[in-house]
Structure 1
Amino acid sequence: MFDKILIANRGEIACRVIKTARRMGITTVAIYSDADRNALHVEMADEAIHIGPPPANQSYIVIDKVMDAIKASGAQAVHPGYGFLSENPKFAQALDAAGVAFVGPPVKAIEAMGDKITSKKIAQEAGVNTVPGYMGLIGDADEAVKIAGEIGYPVMIKASAGGGGKGMRIAWTDDEAREGFQSSKNEAASSFGDDRIFIEKFVTQPRHIEIQVLCDQHGNAVYLHERECSIQRRNQKVVEEAPSPFLDEATRRAMGEQAVRLAQAVGYTSAGTVEFIVDGERNFYFLEMNTRLQVEHPVTEMITGVDLVEQMIRVANGEKLPFRQEDLTINGWAIENRLYAEDPYRNFLPSIGRLTRYRPPAEGAMGAGTVRNDTGVFEGGEISMYYDPMIAKLCTWAPTRAQAIETMRTALDAFEVEGIGHNLPFLSAVMDHPKFVSGDMTTAFIAEEWPDGFDGVALDDTALRRVAAAAAAMNRVAEIRRARISGTLDNHERKVGTEWMVEAQGERFEVATAADRQGTTVTFATGDAMRVEGDWTPGDRLARMMVDGAPLVLKVDKITQGFRLRTRGADLKVHVRTPRQAELAALMPEKVPPDTSKMLLCPMPGLIVKIDVEEGQEVQEGQALCTVEAMKMENILRAERRGTVAKINASAGDSLAVDDVIMEFE
C-alpha cells in the first residue's frame, strides 16, 4: 500500500479523502493557494505545500505546479477529488511519466469519456441507450441555431468538456440558442480551458438518475446501484438520494448492466459514474460518464457500506475488488443536501464573506437515522469568490425514505450558519414539499415550483401555533431571568405575568402560560393547550424543544420584545408582548425601505464581463443589460421592465460588491 498520497484538490472533498487515507494509515499531503492558506484541508493534512495565487488557473489547475508539489513531497499517489484536474488526461499522463499512481481511471478512459461527443459514440457502439443529438463540433452561433432547429426545440447546449452544470444552457428558441451558445462557450473556456460545444435533444419531464460503477485492474466490474439527482437548479444538483424512489428492480438492473458494459468498453478502472436521463415511462438514455468521484458519492456509501475512496486507493494499488455484484445490496435510504453559499432570496446568487457562526448538527445517530456532514470550512473561515460556493454536504440515512427525510428536516433545522447568504431555508422547503415527499419530481422541479424565485416559507396554522407556544414558553424563561436580575438591583422580585400576546407571520395568538418543573403548558384563547418542554436558556442560539411530544428545533436570535426564530425554512419575527404592549405596538408606523426600482444593483460580488447597453438607450423587458461573473459562473442581468438607461456606473473588468449600482434608469 502507498505510504503517502497527495490530494490535488481543496475544500470538502480534500477533507473527505484525508479522512479515509488517515484511517488506512496513509500520510496525506495538501496543496493550497494564497486564499486557502488557513483552510481546513490544509490543517487536516499531515503536510501542506503552497502552489500559487487564489485563481484556480494560477494554482490548482496548473499541472506543472502540482507536479512540483508531488516531487517535493515524495508522494507515491495522487487523488484528484472532483473538478480541477480530476478529468484532465494531460495530468494523468504527467503522473504516469513521473511514476506516480493516479487514483483514478486510465488516460484512455478519461479521454474517451471526458469528451461528451466521443463518449456518446462509444456508448452507442456498446449498446447503451443514447439521446438524439448532433455529435460534431459547432463552429459559431449561426451554426448552433441551424442545428438546434434541425434537432427540434427544446435543445440542450453543452460544453464537451463540461461538468457541474457549467457550460450548459437549455434553449427553446433561435434567440436562446444563439445566446446560450455564446455563454456556454465562454463558461467552458473559463472553467475547463476547452470551449467546444455540442447540442442534443432536451428530454421533457426528465429525471436525472446515475449509476455508480467500480472497476479494478483485473477485469472485475460492479455497479453500486443508483442515485436520483433530479432536484437541480441551473443544471446544478442540489438534492440527491439513493436509491431512486422511481426505479423498479428491472430498470435498475438494466441501467446497471449498461453502465458496467460502457465502463468495460473503455477499459475503465477506479470509481466512475454513468449518468442517465429517464423519462416518465422509465425509458433511459445515456447522458455522460464522469471519470472521477462524484460530489454525491456519500449516499451510495451509506446504502451499500462501501467506502468508495478506500476502494479507489486500493484499485490504484493494484488490488482486486473485495466483493461481487451479488454482494452489493441496498440497505435503507440516504439523502444528501448540498449547502451552498448562495442567497435564495436573491435568486440563489453567490454570497461571500466570513462564517461568523458555523455549527453543523452532530454526526452520528439522530432519532431513527444517522447524520453525516462532509465539509471543508470552519467557524471564522472565509468563503472566497474564487471557488465553488459549496459549504458542506449534509447527509442522512434511515431504514426508510420517510425516516431519512424526517431526519434531514431535523438536521437542517439544527444547522447554524451565519455571516453569509446560504440555501438552508430552501433545502428545508424542498424537504417539506409534497412532490418531493411523494417522490414525484423531475429536473424541472425547482423551476416549476418556484417560477418567480424563492421568497421564504410560510408555516401552516398547525406549525405556526407550535412555534407560538414554544416562543411563549421561551419568553417566560427569559422574563424570569430578567426579573431575578432586576430583583437583585431593586431589592425586590418583579412578578412574571401569565397573559401574553404572541404575533408571528401576521397572526396574533392570545395565550396563557402555566409552568412547572418539567415545562410549560401554553393555553390559547380558543381553549386548546400545548405542552412545551426543553432546556433552552436565554443566550442559547439553538432551542431543542418538545411540543405536545413532537420535536421542534429552532434557531434563536433575540429581538426587541421577542425572538427571531427559524425552523423548517421559515424565518419569523415572533413578538411576545403583554396585552397592553401589543395594543400600543399596533399603533407604531412601519419603516418603508428605500426605492431602488430605477436602479440595476449588482446582486453578488463579482466581475463585470460586459455591458450590453448604452446611456440613453431604450430597453425592453427581459433584455440583457450586462453579464457578471462570480464563482466561475456567468450571470446575465436583464431588464425587469421597459425603460431608458440614464447612467452607467460600471464597465467591463470592474469588480463590484453586493448592491453596487451598475446603472440607473429614467
Structure 2
Amino acid sequence: MSSTRRTGGALFSKLLIANRGEIACRVIKTAQRMGIPTVAIFSDADRYALHVRMADEAVHVGPAPANESYIVIDNVLRAIRETGADAVHPGYGFLSENPKFAAALEKEGVAFIGPPKGAIEAMGDKITSKKLADEAGVSTVPGHMGLIEDADEAVRIASEIGYPVMIKASAGGGGKGMRIAWDDEEAREGFQSSKNEAANSFGDDRIFIEKFVTQPRHIEIQVLADQHGNTIYLGERECSIQRRNQKVIEEAPSPFLDAATRKAMGEQACALAQAVGYTSAGTVEFIVDGDRNFYFLEMNTRLQVEHPVTELITGVDLVEQMIRVAAGEPLGFTQDDVKLTGWAIESRVYAEDPYRGFLPSIGRLIRYRPPAERSAGPLQVSGKWLPLPDGSEAPAGDTAVRNDTGVFEGGEISMYYDPMIAKLCTWAEDRDGALEAMRLALDRFEMEGIGHNLPFLAAVMDHPKFVAGEMTTAFIAEEYEGGFSGVALSDDALARIAASAAAMHRVEEIRRTRISGRMGNHERKIGTDWVVDIDGRTWNLVTDADRDGATVRFEDGTERRVASDWRPGEPLARLQVDGAPLVLKVEPITGGYRLRTRGAMLDVHVWSPRQARLAALMPVREEADTSKLLLCPMPGLVVKLAVAEGDDVEVGQNLCTVEAMKMENILRAERKGKVTRIRAAAGDSLAVDDVIMEFE
C-alpha cells in the first residue's frame, strides 16, 4: 500500500485530465508525483485557471458553457490527438460516467482511467443500475424505473408511488437534476427543472422517479477492483449533511454504523461490482434507516468528490490506484490489509451565500488563504504517513489538514460551473479530535470577495445534533428551516471575544500613539478603561498589559488572560484566551472591528467611557424598504418569466426562474399582490439585487 511503489517501466507516457477545478488539480498532483506528464483542457472561462497553470500542457476546448466545451467528446478527442496523451482521467461529473466517451477512447486506443464501458452502462445509469440490483436480490427503494416523457406523466407516476417522491436525472450526480416533490404542482415543476439541469450538466435529460424515504442517512461504500478479479471495499463514508440533495459535509467512518453492518454493506457492494465486471474505484450508495436497514440507492462509476476522507483513514491514494488498475496492475493489498484508523471530516467550501438562502455567488477572490496543510494520515501497511497529494512532506502530528482546491487568490469564480471552491479535510485519532481540528481550520480559512459558506460550515461543527452524530439527510432543512442567519454565541464565548477586542484595541492605540510622533513613554498616554460593545451588548473592562499579553478585568471581578502576536491591519488574529485557542477574522470598522468566528459575524466597538456615552445618543440607520420589489438574489440568467404585468399573485406562486452555476432557482412570491412592472426579460443576465419586477 505504499504510495511510492512502482512496477517496472512507465505506466503511461502522458495523462490528460478531462475535467477542471479542484478535481483536475487533485489528479495532476498524484500523476506528477508518479512521474506521469499531464495535460489540462480548458474553456474560455478557464484560460487562467489553476489546473491549467499546474499541468505540463494545456489545450483549449471551447466556449465557457460546459455543453460547448468540457462535455463535447470531439473537442476532448482533439486535445488527446494534439498532445499524444495515451490515458485520460475524467474526474467526476462531465464525461466521467458517459459510456460514449469511454467507447470513443477505446476506439482511439487511449486508456480510460475508470471502469469498463459495460460497467458504466450497467451501473452509471441510475435506472439500469436499480433494475440490476433488484434482479440480484438487493433491497431497493420503490419507484418507477422507466423513462418519463413529460410533466403530465411525471405527475401521474408520482401520484401512484405516493408523495413525497424524488425526481432524478438518470445520468445525474452531485445534486444536479434532482428535486423532491410533495404534491402535483411540485412534481410538474420539478420534472421540467430536473430535465433542464440534466441536459445542461450531463447532455442527457432522461428522468425517473422514486419514493423519497424520509429521515434517512446517506452512507456509501468505497470499492476498488482490478482487472485480475480482486475487489475490496475501503470502509464507508457518511454523507447525510446535504442541501438540495448536494452533499455539504462528509466523514469517514460513519458515527452510526457498527462493524457488522459495515461488513454486510461492504460485501454487498463488492458483489454488485463483481456482477457487472467492475474495475477501478467506484462507490455504492445506500440509504440507511434508524434500525440500520440499508437499501441500494445507486452506484457512481467514478471517483467521488468526497474520496479524501477515505484516503485519510486508510492511507490509500485512490487516484494512484485508479491509474495502476487502468495500466493492468493487480491490487497490491487485500481486504485483510485494509484498516480504518482515526476519523476524517470533509467540508465542501462553496461560492454560495448562506445569509441569502445559499444562493450562488460569483466574483473575484480578492483574498484566498486556506489554513496550512499538515500530512494526510497514516499508512496501515508501511506505518508511514501518506504525503499530501503533491508528494510534499508536510509535518505529521496528532491532527492533519488537507485542502483540495482549484482556485487561487485573484482568480475569478465563474457562473458557468459548480460553485465548489475547495474541500477542506481534517483527520485526528477520534471524531472529537477531527471536529475540533475542523473548527480551527474553518476559522483560519480566509476568503474575501465573494459570498461563501464558511460561516455555515462552522455552525454545523458546533451543532449539538451533528456533534452527537444524530443527523439525517433532512438535517439542514430541519435545523435551518428559516435559512441561516448566523450563530448566537454563548455568554462565555462573547466574553472571551470582548476581552480579546480590548487587548487588540490597546495594541492599536499603541501604534496610533507612535505614528502621531509621541514616542516618549507612550504607554502612559493610553487608557486602561474601555467599554466593549458587541451588537448592542456592552462590557466595562480594565486592561492591565505586560510584555506577554494583557489581563482583562470585568466588572464582576473575573479576569481573562489574552495573549497574541496580532498586529493592526492583519486580517487574522490567532489568540490564546486563558490558554485556549481563539481565531478571529478581523475587518476594521469605524470605532472597532467586524469579527468572524465559529459561524458568527460580530460588529465590535471599543470605546473610552466618554465615547460610549456619546455613541448611545447616535440615531439608528433605517433599512431601505424593498418589500414591493423582486430582486435577483444572485448573479444569473433569467430563464423564464411566469407572470405578466397586471397579474395578481398569491403567496408561494412561481414568479420567474433564474439559472446560476448549472442550477435552476425558482423565485416565488412572498406575499399577495399585483405585478405593476416587469424590468427583466428571459435571456437577461442579472447581477445581485437587480430588480426583476415591481408590485403594487
TM-score, scaled relative to structure 1: 0.99
Alpha-carbon separation, structure 1, partners of 2:221 and 2:321? 16
Alpha-carbon separation, structure 2, partners of 1:154 and 1:203? 8
Amino acid aligned to 2:64: P
1:316 to 315, 319, 326: 326
The reply on whether 1:591 has 2:621 as its aligned counterpart is yes
The reply on whether 1:375 has 2:405 as its aligned counterpart is yes
Aligned-residue Cα RMSD (Å) equals 1.3
Q: Sequence identity, in percent?
A: 77
Asked if 2 retains the 8 angstrom alpha-carbon contact of 1:366 and 1:407, the reply is no
Amino acid aligned to 1:171: A
Q: For structure 1, which segment, 266-275 or 121-130, has the greater mean C-alpha deviation from structure 2 after superposition?
A: 121-130
2:150 to 134, 140, 158: 140
Alpha-carbon separation, structure 1, partners of 2:569 and 2:398? 29
Asked if 2 retains the 8 angstrom alpha-carbon contact of 1:337 and 1:393, the reply is yes
3-state DSSP class of the match of 1:404?
helix
The reply on whether 1:486 has 2:496 as its aligned counterpart is no
The reply on whether 1:12 has 2:22 as its aligned counterpart is yes
- For 1:248-647, what aligned pairs fall within 5 Å after superposition? 248-364=258-374, 368-488=398-518, 495-647=525-677
Amino acid aligned to 2:340: I
Q: For structure 1, which segment, 47-56 or 426-435, has the greater mean C-alpha deviation from structure 2 after superposition?
A: 47-56
Instruction: Give the superposition deviation at 1:196.
Output: 1.4
Amino acid aligned to 2:459: A
Asked if 2 retains the 8 angstrom alpha-carbon contact of 1:204 and 1:279, the reply is no
**CA distance 1:49–1:518, change in 2 (3 Å):** same
Asked if 2 retains the 8 angstrom alpha-carbon contact of 1:426 and 1:456, the reply is yes
Amino acid aligned to 1:380: G
Asked if 2 retains the 8 angstrom alpha-carbon contact of 1:299 and 1:334, the reply is yes
Alpha-carbon separation, structure 2, partners of 1:568 and 1:192? 37
Amino acid aligned to 1:299: V
Alpha-carbon separation, structure 1, partners of 2:628 and 2:442? 37
1:74 to 78, 84, 92: 84
1:654 to 681, 684, 687: 684
Alpha-carbon separation, structure 2, partners of 1:119 and 1:392? 30
2:133 to 123, 126, 131: 123
**CA distance 1:587–1:123, change in 2 (3 Å):** same
TM-score, scaled relative to structure 2: 0.94
5+ long unaligned stretches in structure 1: none
Alpha-carbon separation, structure 2, partners of 1:185 and 1:91? 21
Asked if 2 retains the 8 angstrom alpha-carbon contact of 1:210 and 1:275, the reply is yes
Instruction: Give the superposition deviation at 1:487.
Output: 3.1
3-state DSSP class of the match of 1:641?
coil
Alpha-carbon separation, structure 1, partners of 2:520 and 2:336? 76
**Cα displacement string for residues 138-182 of structure 1 (whole angstroms, at most 9, x for unaligned residues):** 222222222112212111111111111111111111222122112
Residue 232 of structure 1 corresponds to which residue in structure 2?
242
Alpha-carbon separation, structure 2, partners of 1:386 and 1:151? 35
Residue 217 of structure 2 corresponds to which residue in structure 1?
207
Asked if 1 retains the 8 angstrom alpha-carbon contact of 2:513 and 2:519, the reply is no
Alpha-carbon separation, structure 2, partners of 1:203 and 1:196? 22
3-state DSSP class of the match of 1:48?
strand
- Off by >6 Å, runs of 4+ in structure 1: 489-494
Alpha-carbon separation, structure 2, partners of 1:634 and 1:492? 59
Alpha-carbon separation, structure 1, partners of 2:210 and 2:289? 15
**CA distance 1:315–1:493, change in 2 (3 Å):** closer
Asked if 2 retains the 8 angstrom alpha-carbon contact of 1:127 and 1:258, the reply is no
**Cα displacement string for residues 456-501 of structure 1 (whole angstroms, at most 9, x for unaligned residues):** 1111101111111111110111111111122348998870000000
**Cα displacement string for residues 249-293 of structure 1 (whole angstroms, at most 9, x for unaligned residues):** 111011101111111111000000001011111111111111100
**CA distance 1:521–1:492, change in 2 (3 Å):** closer
Q: For structure 1, which segment, 136-145 or 649-658, has the greater mean C-alpha deviation from structure 2 after superposition?
A: 136-145
**Cα displacement string for residues 327-385 of structure 1 (whole angstroms, at most 9, x for unaligned residues):** 11110000000000001111011100000000000000697411000000000000011
**Cα displacement string for residues 71-119 of structure 1 (whole angstroms, at most 9, x for unaligned residues):** 1111110000011111111111110000000000000111111211110
Amino acid aligned to 1:298: P
**Cα displacement string for residues 495-517 of structure 1 (whole angstroms, at most 9, x for unaligned residues):** 00000000113210110000111
- For 1:71-110, what aligned pairs fall within 5 Å after superposition? 71-110=81-120
Amino acid aligned to 2:626: T
Amino acid aligned to 2:244: R
Instruction: Give the superposition deviation at 1:631.
Output: 0.5
Asked if 2 retains the 8 angstrom alpha-carbon contact of 1:484 and 1:494, the reply is no
**Cα displacement string for residues 381-429 of structure 1 (whole angstroms, at most 9, x for unaligned residues):** 0001111111000000000000000000000000000000000000000
Number of residue equivalences: 666
Amino acid aligned to 1:588: M
Amino acid aligned to 1:43: R
Amino acid aligned to 2:439: R
Amino acid aligned to 1:620: E
Amino acid aligned to 2:254: S
**CA distance 1:253–1:356, change in 2 (3 Å):** same
